[in-house]
Chain A
């Protein structure tokens, strides 16, 4: 390990590596904050630049893009309820209500410091556990993935506001939408009423529609009102002080993020949801989650940034691309004849170690950019509401288009925007729909795959420890809140059936 670090540090003495790191952070900041442009897209855009560069420089630059964009997705999520990255949808649940109370500066500070903490601690975990975490990553077969998806879906009650029935309806609607597209096992087109849906409902368009465009329509209702007054943010040292009450939350969320990140294909959105739920369960005032509880912002942002180093474990040690961004990294390394996988630590130790170093060295730079940036970003909340609504709408339409370069995706976003606006009027919220869109395909494809493998033997889901444990936890997680709700309802039987007591 020492030699590896020496090799990595030696690489960092080159000015090109440092320049690559800075360039990557800037590009990542930008693509992360723009809805529709995800980390993977931003990294892929830089690939042509890396042809002529040294492999270490290119990997450092791409890692910086990855790291910065995972953070900056929270900025538009907090400011305008528009997640710049899918995982920031969970950040928006509490971040946006905070901003509506004038606490944008507070929320942004929590998000950058939580992100930094998660990213650094998770990198340290990665350095020490990369070799044996790969065994954990490989333990996930179809049955385990199915159980994991079920576990994720069972967290629905956390996200469904005050009415569980409405949460369910939203979840089922989302799950049904994930069956649109080419069937995962038979390769048969299902419910494809337009060729654009052959590869499924485009997720980014749906996300932008449900969160951002429906919010734009809601903003149109209130553009005649003055901008939200802004509360002062403390100086930089005061900003650091804001994190004190959240230490336990951050450590827990980091571990959750790292472990979920290691599982290939699970990803930051699941990590955020799990950490958010855990924090809500442990919190002293769980009822304020969803209406601007700072703990929710910290949990979501810490875990989704902790997820990223986790995803590097199977990518480095096994060459498995867990998601789009790590797939791009593998591609970028392949250009230089470096193949991540079991041989990388012996053949090219400078690559993994320069990744570790760039994660650790890049972070203070990002934090400074984030803390000073916060002062700039909060000013955006003082722009007239009408300008915000119009510009957010335009950026979203363009972001959707640039993701697929197809007008069809704009149609999808608009459709989801209108439907999302209508559903929010009857208190059916977008978060459970997003949860379903993230997990639905994973659940169905792996369920059926596991049955093909076992020859229709249903016991396959409970005979393996990981899937059995996941399923058992999901049963508990799923049933407990139901019992609590029923009890609460008995106590306050005045309340009409299935109706939320206050708007969320």
Chain B
């Protein structure tokens, strides 16, 4: 870190010295990368890895700032204040899009520039190994037979995981009210609650459950993706079981910037990100963490964000979560 500081300092000196040399090519000074999570979590670590790789390819330092709090409120407030000159970028996940429609209504998809999508994570339906629910059909049948008997653990109401379950329930023609959705503080807590037998089912991600599945503590009864997950070859997709749920609904991670960034800067950043995602140790990390590489450039990512936003709005209305 000290080294990073020294390099930043010497760079700053260099920039001042060259100020007469008018506009050098972007980037010519450090780019700050604002995260919405506190240090140490999965999103944070991946962002820090990305920052290290981008420093190499762009040739400037990328100091990472953690602005956790309020489902992105603290981070977005900072991003909103920043100039759209490419020297401030920020992390984004599906949670942000959910928050735009709920707690952070002062923002919407158009408030920011969408630079690049990094990875996706499909949603899974998991149970403890001794559960009598073996397939999605068991889950649907049990819920129909005895409404309220199935307790499903997940993140807060209106989160990506909650919508994922609603999408599944609709595909299965099940009234989702027959299953008790219990909101936990994190998806990890929801998984723990299933392991402890306090809840029957959880909506989770691959990375959180794969070791428990391998160790024989847990079972995946449905994967909300087009294909099976390499880490969980025995877990069937929903489509295999005859439920046609919209598999584009996944947890995504990406990079955004303040509204109004010049196109060439966005392209340059997106290209550097694309390269970084293909670097060997990033690839290893993505694979170890059971993420699915899903790069999208600025244009496609903007479209994707809009589409996810429309879906969110639609589900909010269906679930009467409109506030």
Q: Do chains A and B touch in the complex (CB under 8 A)?
A: yes
Interface size class on chain B is: 35 or more
Q: Looking at the complex, which of B6-14, B34-42, B163-171 is the stretch in contact with chain A?
A: B34-42
Which of A43, A321, A335, A406 is in CB contact (< 8 Å) with B74?
A406
A47 to B180, CA, bound (A): 39
Confirm or deny: A86 has a beta carbon within 8 angstroms of a beta carbon on chain B: no
- Residues from chain A with a CB closer than 8 A to the CB of B158 are 187
Cβ proximity bits B153-196 to A, threshold 8 Å, 1 near / 0 not? 00011110000000000000000000011111100100011011
Chain B CB within 10 Å, residue with most, of A40, A330, A342? A342
Which of A140, A185, A335, A404 is in CB contact (< 8 Å) with B196?
A140
Complex contact A341–B182 (CB within 8 A): no
> Chain A nearest CB: distance from B7 CB in Å?
14
Which of B45, B195, B289, B323 is in CB contact (< 8 Å) with A47?
B45
> Chain A nearest CB: distance from B123 CB in Å?
18
Complex contact B42–A334 (CB within 8 A): yes
- Residues from chain B with a CB closer than 8 A to the CB of A332 are 40, 45
Interface size class on chain A is: 35 or more
Complex contact A40–B40 (CB within 8 A): yes
Confirm or deny: A3 has a beta carbon within 8 angstroms of a beta carbon on chain B: no
Closest B-chain residue to A327, C-beta based? B40
> Chain B nearest CB: distance from A259 CB in Å?
17
Complex contact B215–A199 (CB within 8 A): no
A405 to B77, CA, bound (A): 13
> Chain A nearest CB: distance from B180 CB in Å?
6
Confirm or deny: A48 has a beta carbon within 8 angstroms of a beta carbon on chain B: yes
Confirm or deny: A219 has a beta carbon within 8 angstroms of a beta carbon on chain B: no
Confirm or deny: A89 has a beta carbon within 8 angstroms of a beta carbon on chain B: no
Complex contact A184–B183 (CB within 8 A): yes
> Chain A nearest CB: distance from B148 CB in Å?
5
Complex contact A198–B103 (CB within 8 A): yes
- Residues from chain B with a CB closer than 8 A to the CB of A48 are 1, 48, 52
Which of A40, A331, A334, A405 is in CB contact (< 8 Å) with B65?
A405
Complex contact A44–B67 (CB within 8 A): no
- Residues from chain A with a CB closer than 8 A to the CB of B214 are 342-343
Q: A184-B183, A320-B188 are in contact. Are A405 and B323 (CB under 8 A)?
A: no
Complex contact A47–B39 (CB within 8 A): yes
Cβ proximity bits A317-343 to B, threshold 8 Å, 1 near / 0 not? 011110010011011101101010111
Complex contact A405–B66 (CB within 8 A): yes
- Residues from chain B with a CB closer than 8 A to the CB of A404 are 67-69, 74
Confirm or deny: A51 has a beta carbon within 8 angstroms of a beta carbon on chain B: yes
- Residues from chain A with a CB closer than 8 A to the CB of B151 are 453
A342 to B158, CA, bound (A): 31
**Residues from 126 to 155 in A contacting B, C-beta threshold 8 Å:** 138-142
Confirm or deny: A449 has a beta carbon within 8 angstroms of a beta carbon on chain B: yes
A343 to B184, CA, bound (A): 25
Which of A264, A342, A449 is in CB contact (< 8 Å) with B212?
A342
A-B contact pairs, 17 of them (CB 8 A): A44-B38, A44-B44, A48-B1, A142-B198, A185-B183, A186-B183, A187-B156, A187-B157, A195-B74, A198-B71, A199-B70, A319-B212, A320-B188, A331-B42, A341-B211, A342-B212, A405-B67
